Amino acid sequence: MRQVLGRTPYYVFATGLAILFLAPLVWTAVASVSPHGATAQKVGYGLGNYRTLFNWEAGLPTYLLNSARVTLLTVALTLVLSVLAGYAFARFRFPGRDVLFLLVIAILMVPYVTLLVPLWVLLGEVGLRNSLEGLALVLTLYQLPFSVFMMRISFEAVPRELDESAQVDGCGTFGVLRRILLHAVWPGIITVGLFAFLNAWNDFIAPLFLINDSDRFPLPLAIATQRVQTHGAIDYGVTEAGVVVMALPCLLLFIFLQRYYVRGFMSGALKG
Amino acid sequence: MSLVLEREHVTQAPPRPAARRPWWRSRAAKGALYASPAVLFVLAFFVLPLLLVGQISISEWPLLQGNQGINFPENYQNLTRNRLFWPAVGFTVKYTVVVVVLLLGLAMVMALLVQNRRRGVGFFRTAFFLPTALGLASASLLFWGFYSPSIGPLDPILQGLGITDEPIRWLGTPNMALFSTVALIVWKFAGFFMLILLVGLQSIPTEVYEAAKIDGATGWQTFARVTLPLLRPSIALCLIISVTGSLLAFDQFYILTQGGPDNSTTTVVMLIYREAFRRFDLGSAAALSVVVLVALLLINVAQFRFLRRGVE
């Protein structure tokens, strides 16, 4: 590309593109505190939109807490299931191992919505419909293909001699996992946790299908509902304040854990 | 510590043959035990729902009353009688073609821009990739304000530059709604596909480029004859992910256009939601879900075949 473009055109083009990509993000942050007659922040710069959002219906803390609960449950469940399964698939031979691994990966081939309709019925049968716990179970399901795959290759990358020396020292298979391997696969665990966090925090369609009690809405569903339920003029300022609240944890995590994010990509890309 | 253990080893009788060990203490059993939580989870929340969606799709199943018995093939027949069905299929396909072409085209340009280490490349990579960190619903809500006539910045900018005189209805007409949503998706996902292509680009050995240079290939020739063919696996991956994702589009249209104006941007997945929770007909929603599942499997098999044949 730089042979095609000269030095100056290269920088002009790339910078222009970068500005286009950053502009909407900067605009939201600015718009959420800017004065506008049609928003809760009428005169001067300030946090009026955030105050309105804070007090909307059940209140921002409730929705934040709902999101945090779903997200942490999903991350915890995903980690437990995928670490154990990754260990099993990487280190043990047992009947049906390859079929079971393929079954987990096959989740990817089934569209999200195809499962949401029957899951709505099933969760109703066991009393988990309209609950954050039921939602976390569904979100975990869609994390499993990536997470189990990721943990399996993480365990496989650890030399077997490490297990064997620990076994000689008297560790059982669980001791090997807990005392030795967990430390060795730490980067994989962070990658799996990060993806589970981002996907659970941001998911929209699963809560839309499964949660109908507005007090239990996670943040994205609450913000999306807020804008259509506000009577009279639509307050776009409050929506943008909500976008900032939702985006901040993602951007922070992304900036601090960029390395682990890219790691997840490489493994996924190599698979193809 | 090790001394004690060694003595234990010595005093131990010769290793017992594995067959004598009870099966539940064998290594295989332990492996199966570690896999079992995930396997049970997948059986309960994946295999069982998959069977159930089949049953719902052949049953009369109102949302609130539940199963009213088998009515096959009524739900499937009703699909095509739904006046929104074919328009939704047509729109979803059109949207997919437009998004995939623009998205992968731009992602390729961006990957080539940031492929080599030079000043500022780190900044460009981060800038292009940052929208990917947002959720799709967040990004859609962001653009909902961005396109709004009230606080949106586009009209003031365009009018200030003297390009337009009147406010543009960014979501007001079918074509503008499609265009505006595609712009959102390209903004949100170009960095994602850039990264996949970048990983592919960096796995191409530099010797190949040097050889092309020695043979006197121009920049464009190198790209078309060397880079593109070697990038084929990465492009295939991008294609499959973006086609699947676009055919299942929901969040962006639900939030940005609500399927309007005049149902012109209603996608197939929106139709499933509508059948289930607006028309309270779980049977039809399940039938449509099964059709989407089968269609997607066929499309992905076709893509795999096509892409693989190209490699050989």
pLDDT in tens, A212-235: 999 999 999 999 998 876 566 678
Say what the pLDDT of residue A209 is. 95
Q: Answer whether A212's CB lies under 8 Å from B95's CB.
A: no
Which residue in chain A has the smallest CA separation from B253?
A: A205
Over range B11-20, report the average pLDDT.
51
User: Is residue A191 assigned to a domain?
Assistant: yes
Which residue in chain A has the smallest CA separation from B52?
A: A118
User: Is residue A32 assigned to a domain?
Assistant: no
User: Is residue A199 assigned to a domain?
Assistant: yes
Is the CB of residue A232 less than 8 Å away from at least one CB of chain B? no
User: Is residue B151 assigned to a domain?
Assistant: yes
Q: Name the pTM for this structure.
A: 0.91
B308 — pLDDT class (breaks 50, 70, 90): confident
Say what the pLDDT of residue A232 is. 60
Mutate to test the interface with A, among B41, B171, B267, B299 (most CBs of A within 10 A): B41
User: Is residue A26 assigned to a domain?
Assistant: no
Nearest CA distance, A204 vs chain B (angstrom): 6
User: Is residue A171 assigned to a domain?
Assistant: yes
Q: Which residue has the higher pLDDT, B309 or A125?
A: A125
Query: What is the rounded CA–CA span in Å between residue A101 and residue B271?
Result: 33
Residue A259 has pLDDT above 70, yes or no: yes
Say what the pLDDT of residue A230 is. 57
Over range A167-176, report the average pLDDT.
88
Max CA separation in chain A (angstroms): 73
pLDDT in tens, A261-271: 887 777 654 44
In this prediction, what percent of chain A has a pLDDT beyond 70?
94
Say what the pLDDT of residue B2 is. 38
Is the CB of residue A82 less than 8 Å away from at least one CB of chain B? yes
Taking CA atoms, A172 is separated from A163, A185, B134, in Å, by: 10, 18, 43
pLDDT in tens, B218-270: 888 889 998 999 998 889 889 999 999 999 999 999 999 999 899 999 999 99
User: Is residue B111 assigned to a domain?
Assistant: yes
A2 — pLDDT class (breaks 50, 70, 90): low
Mutate to test the interface with B, among A82, A102, A113 (most CBs of B within 10 A): A113
User: Is residue B172 assigned to a domain?
Assistant: yes
The two three-digit tokens of residue B11, written as one number: 């005093």
**CATH number of the domain that B101 lies in?**
1.10.3720.10
Nearest CA distance, A241 vs chain B (angstrom): 9
ipTM of the complex: 0.92
User: Is residue B286 assigned to a domain?
Assistant: no
* CB spacing of B137 vs A4 below 8 angstroms: no
Burial of residue B198 (CB within 10 Å: 0-12, 13-18, 19+) is buried
Q: Answer whether B180's CB lies under 8 Å from B264's CB.
A: no
Query: What is the rounded CA–CA span in Å between residue A15 and residue B108?
Result: 17
Task: In chain A, count H helices and then E strands.
Answer: 14, 0
CB neighbours of residue B168 within 10 Å = 18
B20 — pLDDT class (breaks 50, 70, 90): low
Range of the domain at A135: 58-271
Is the CB of residue B38 less than 8 Å away from at least one CB of chain A? yes
Range of the domain at B105: 85-265
Say what the pLDDT of residue A271 is. 45
CB neighbours of residue B228 within 10 Å = 12
Query: Average pLDDT of chain A?
Result: 90
Say what the pLDDT of residue B8 is. 42
The least confident of A198-207, A221-230, B101-110, B139-148 is A221-230
Residue B12 has pLDDT above 60, yes or no: no
Of A21, A91, A169, the CB nearest to B187: A21
* CB spacing of B38 vs A81 below 8 angstroms: yes
Over range B111-134, report the average pLDDT.
91
Say what the pLDDT of residue B175 is. 94
* CB spacing of A118 vs B53 below 8 angstroms: yes
Is the CB of residue A113 less than 8 Å away from at least one CB of chain B? yes
Phi, psi angles (nearest 5°) of residue B281: -115, 90
The distance from CA A54 to its chain's CA centroid, rounded to whole angstroms, is: 23
User: Is residue B90 assigned to a domain?
Assistant: yes
Nearest CA distance, B63 vs chain A (angstrom): 9
Total of domains in chain A:
1
**CATH number of the domain that A93 lies in?**
1.10.3720.10
Mutate to test the interface with B, among A12, A21, A81, A177 (most CBs of B within 10 A): A21
Helix B85-113 vs helix B74-81: angle between axes, to the nearest 10 degrees? 70
Of B34, B112, B277, the CB nearest to A92: B34
User: Is residue A95 assigned to a domain?
Assistant: yes
Give Cβ neighbours of residue B307 (< 8 Å, ≥ 6 apart): B232, B236, B239
Which residue in chain A has the smallest CA separation from B110?
A: A14
The least confident of A66-70, A122-126, A159-163 is A159-163
Residue B1 has pLDDT above 50, yes or no: no
User: Is residue B142 assigned to a domain?
Assistant: yes
SS3 state at A226: helix
* CB spacing of A4 vs B220 below 8 angstroms: yes
Q: Answer whether A122's CB lies under 8 Å from A71's CB.
A: no
Residue B7 has pLDDT above 70, yes or no: no
Query: What is the rounded CA–CA span in Å between residue B168 and residue B170?
Result: 6
B180 — pLDDT class (breaks 50, 70, 90): very high
pLDDT in tens, B243-257: 999 999 999 999 999
What DSSP element (H or E) covers B215? none
Residue A9 has pLDDT above 60, yes or no: yes
Q: Answer whether A244's CB lies under 8 Å from A223's CB.
A: no
User: Is residue A14 assigned to a domain?
Assistant: no
* CB spacing of B254 vs A240 below 8 angstroms: no
Is the CB of residue A12 less than 8 Å away from at least one CB of chain B? no
Query: What is the rounded CA–CA span in Å between residue A36 and residue A43?
Result: 7
The two three-digit tokens of residue A248, written as one number: 């901040």
Cβ contacts of B273 on chain A, cutoff 8 Å: 113, 208-209
Is the CB of residue B23 less than 8 Å away from at least one CB of chain A? no
Over range A61-88, report the average pLDDT.
97
Over range A177-194, report the average pLDDT.
93
Total of domains in chain B:
1
Is the CB of residue B176 less than 8 Å away from at least one CB of chain A? no
Least Cα distance to B177 among B239, B91, B248, B242 occurs for: B91
User: Is residue B306 assigned to a domain?
Assistant: no
Is the CB of residue A128 less than 8 Å away from at least one CB of chain B? no
Which residue in chain A has the smallest CA separation from B289?
A: A114
User: Is residue A42 assigned to a domain?
Assistant: no
pLDDT in tens, B26-80: 889 999 999 999 999 999 999 999 999 999 999 999 998 999 999 999 999 999 8
Query: Average pLDDT of chain B?
Result: 89
* CB spacing of B34 vs A204 below 8 angstroms: no
